[in-house]
Amino acid sequence: MKTFSKYALATAILASTTTAFAPTPVHNQKIGNIILPSSSNTQLFSTVDDKTEVREYFNNEGFNRWNKIYSDSDEVNSVQLDIRNGHDQTIQKILNWVKEDGNISGKTVCDCGCGVGSLAIPLALMGAKVSASDISDAMATEAAARAKSMGVKNAKFYTSDLESVTGKYNTVTCVDVAIHYPTEKMAEMVGHLCSLADERVLISFAPKTWYYELLKKIGELFPGPSKTTRAYLHEERVVRDALEKAGFKVAREEMTGTNFYFSRLLEAKRV
């Protein structure tokens, strides 16, 4: 395991440059004729709509930032490059599972929170019939453009929040999206994903452990200048319990950890 000092520094830098663990910098707030000082931030957090915040962020500055991270662009710093590599590892682990199974061709896949198509496009190229959505119109549009440039015709991309996605699919995927979901909504979100899946669900999330929670708190001491979304860690037990409640059992699991990225990946199959 890397030393604590290295991870602490990494998390501090991460909080100032990405959405992964960065709290939303909220300054003095004016409500009506009343100006609330920054000390009221904690109380205000509970009234802010996370969904609206995420949508606005990833349609604006967040899109510019993450579109570069999830590409081959050289316009990224060392932290962003490390996050790109971590995310790519998670995607590749899913693709390796799919290749190992050897039966994705012709199957339907629903990719919730598709981003720029990092997973949806490779799955389509492997023969899956993909329906991919993202809460950010900018992200979904970029994913569609990338798919078109690669000649992909068996994937559709559209704008939607996760809760509004409907239908039935052989496989449902949701990669690195849960970090934007408040703890109290996590089980409900997992349950909805399961309701869409006939066979299996693939989900990744930042695990809540005492160690990662401590690093997150350290990172929050160094807020960056750019507006970001709040980040949530999730207890693995909560995710597993929600999967089991919905009639699914974890079949395979992986953990990806780099200096600036860590993600727990679970594949659960309907029983």
Residue carrying the six token digits 């089980």? 187
Q: Mean pLDDT, the chain, as a whole number?
A: 82
Residue 49 has a pLDDT of: 78
pLDDT band at 231 (very low <50, low <70, confident <90, very high): confident
Query: DSSP code of 47?
Result: T
22: enclosing H helix or E strand: none
- When pLDDT is averaged across residues 12-29 and rounded to a whole number, the result is 37
> Within 13 Å and on the Cβ side, how many CA atoms surround 145?
9
CB 260 within 8 A of CB 82: yes
Interhelix angle 137-149/61-69, nearest 10 degrees: 30
Phi, psi of 188, deg, nearest 5: -65, -40
Phi, psi of 5, deg, nearest 5: -60, -40
Quick one: which of 4, 5, 24, 27 has its CA closest to 16?
24
- When pLDDT is averaged across residues 45-57 and rounded to a whole number, the result is 74
Which of left, alpha, beta for 227 (phi over 0: left; psi -120 to 50: alpha)?
beta
Reduce the DSSP state of residue 177 to 3 states and report it: coil
Query: Interior CA angle at 26 toward 24 and 28, to 5°?
Result: 180
Q: Which residues contact 223 (CB under 8 A, 6 or more apart)?
A: 15, 16, 22, 23, 25
pLDDT band at 122 (very low <50, low <70, confident <90, very high): very high
Residue 102 has a pLDDT of: 96
Phi, psi of 114, deg, nearest 5: -70, -15
Strand partners, 203: 174, 266
Q: What is the pLDDT of residues 153-167, one digit of tens each?
A: 999 999 999 999 999
Neighbouring CB atoms inside 10 A of 191's CB total 13
Q: What is the pTM of this model?
A: 0.81
Quick one: which of 93, 95, 83 has its CA closest to 265?
93
